Amino acid sequence: MRVVVQRSLEASCKVDGKITGKIDHGFVLLVGFTEGDNLDKIKWMVHKIVNLRIFEDENGVMNLSVLDTKGSILSISQFTLYANSEKGNRPSYIEAMKGDEATKLYDLFNQELKKEIDVQTGIFGSDMKIKFTNDGPVTILLER
């Protein structure tokens, strides 16, 4: 499981011209799954994300979590996180989990997140238009 965590001042997702998810400050998450991913990995990742201290405190030190700042999360499925471009110029996505299985895990991931924090989403497998302001910029890659 790979998640790109991007600290954001605001973010939204549109599918077919309609907003499917919108947040003020918090995280934009790009989420990808591979074979072997399971509930234990999801729970570890959710705990890591909501407790990741990458927001500045009153002294300008990155010492606060998204929970501390009462932020939200925009969660976006992203199978291309498992692109392999070692050979040739067209990436292979063979390491990405197949759609049916990945959809189930993505839904489970979002359900686990919602136990902790407000979560907005895109639509799995759709052509999504993501708009956001990366704050910092701060971008962290998590993998489990």
Domain boundary assignment for the chain: 2-143
Q: Determine the average pLDDT of the residues in 14-19.
A: 97
Which one is catalytic: 80, 111, 133, 139?
Answer: 80
Dihedral sign, CA of 61, 67, 73, 79? positive
Which one is catalytic: 27, 33, 55, 79?
Answer: 79
DSSP state of 108: H
Distance CA 17, CA 7 (A): 24
78 is a catalytic site residue: yes
pTM for the full predicted model: 0.95
> What CATH superfamily is the domain 2-143?
D-tyrosyl-tRNA(Tyr) deacylase (3.50.80.10)
Distances (CA, A) of 142 to 6, 16, 20, 60: 11, 30, 25, 23
Helix intervals (H) in 6-142: 39-51, 99-114
109 is a catalytic site residue: no
Which one is catalytic: 6, 20, 34, 78?
Answer: 78
Distances (CA, A) of 44 to 56, 95, 124: 24, 21, 22
69 is a catalytic site residue: no
* pLDDT tens per residue, range 21-60: 999 999 999 999 999 999 999 999 999 999 999 999 999 9
